[in-house]
Amino acid sequence: MFVELSESMSFTANFKAQAITKEVRARDIPGIIEVAPSNASYLLHFDPEVVHPDTLIDRLRDIEAGIDLTAYTWEARVLDVPVLYDDPWTRETLMQFRERHQDPEATDLEYSARINGFSGPEEFIEAHAGAPHMVTMVGFVPGLPWTFQMVPRDQQIEVPKYVQPRTETPSRAVGFGGAFTAIYSVPGAGGYQLFGRTPVEVLDVDQQLPAFADSMVLPNPGDIINFRRVDREEYDRIRDAVEANDYEYNIGHIDFEPEEFFEHPSEYTDRITEVLD
């Protein structure tokens, strides 16, 4: 069963999807097999021999009617995600696929900066790393987070996907499509504009890194990611630690209050990034 709460992306639609799916899980409805919130919608997999779809629709209407976002809060994890913007690996990949791009003469960063009205990649990177992003969906492949930047709508970056998807993307690439930043958890095909690469993993199948003790996937919907610009030296240092399985992720916590965020977005996101200090 697929429930589309809104055709356009907004934090209101996403928080509602998160709140409803959290309540579906809490009610432990017999017959429910999968509960998957997404950006502005959610997906349930159920056994129709246990619960008839009409019964389930009634229960979901009931749950949705009881959701009050002004009272909905959660303990959000704040994850520090270092990024080497304009890194050599994604640059090599994107140069191989210029004929599939809207602007074969520019890099993905140059193109994205220009169509969003920035003077160039430097100013664009500052904006992308300048405010945190919320994880609004996990999927496509295991561990891949979609994140939506926590700024007012008029400051949101918007970039189309490639005209034709690439057949290759390096793992840990930081890409952008529509209004979402994604971190590619595994190498593979992809159509998002490539901005950089993070030295940290979001998927650890063997759960060797300490941050993955409970799950092979790090990001969850409702988590907040702070993309932090690093230089090559810091990238290499962190990467070495990750490969040695002794990297300690910098993770903070905040009791996230949507109302506070909606009313004072900039002050609120400053408080969020402070918990990482």
Partner 1 sequence: MLRIVEPGLSTTVQDTGRYGHYHIGMPPSGAVDQYAHRVANFLVGNEADAATLELTYTGPEVVFEEEGLVAVCGADMDPSLDGEPVPTWTAVRVAAGQTLSFEFATEGARAYLAVGGGVDTEPVMGSRATYTLIGVGGHEGRELEAGDELPTGATETDGLEGNSVDAAHVPDYGAETSIRVVMGLCDYRLTEDGKETLLDTEWTVSNEADRVGYRLDADVDIQGLFVEREQPFGAGTDLTNVVDLGYPVGSIQMAGQPIVLMRDAVTGGGYATVGTVISPDRSTLAQGRSHETVTFEPVSVEEALTAREDWTARLDRLREELLG
DSSP output for 256-271: E-HHHHHHSHHHHHHH
Q: Give the position of tokens 């994205």.
A: 112
Cα–Cα distance, 218 to 16 (Å, whole number): 22
What's the min distance (Å) between Cβ of 102 and partner 1?
9
Tokens of 56: 């389930």
What x-and-dash track marks residues 36-75 binding partner 1 by CB under 8 A? Answer: xxxxxxxx-x--xx--xx----------------------
- Rounded to a whole number of angstroms, the minimum distance from the CB of residue 6 to partner 1 is 8
Sites for partner 1 among residues 205-244 (CB under 8 A): 205, 215-217, 220-221
* Interface with partner 1 in residues 82-141 (CB under 8 A): 137-141
d(CA 245, CA 238): 11
Residue 51 DSSP one-character state: S
Interaction of residue 265 with partner 1, rule CB under 8 A: no
Cβ-based nearer residue to partner 1, 45 or 232 = 45
CB of 2 to partner 1, least distance (A): 5
Buried b (16+ CB within 10 A) or exposed e, 93-127: bbeebeeebeeeebbbbbbbbeebebeebeebbeb
Question: In 3D, which of 25, 27, 63, 31 has the Cα closest to residue 46?
Answer: 31
Q: Which span sits near partner 1 by CB under 8 A: 31-39, 62-70, 75-83, 263-271?
A: 31-39
145-184 residues near partner 1, rule: CB under 8 A: 146, 148, 153, 156, 158, 160-161, 177-180
The residues that touch partner 1, with contacts defined as CB under 8 A, are 2, 4, 6-10, 33-43, 45, 48-49, 52-53, 137-144, 146, 148, 153, 156, 158, 160-161, 177-180, 185-186, 188, 203, 205, 215-217, 220-221
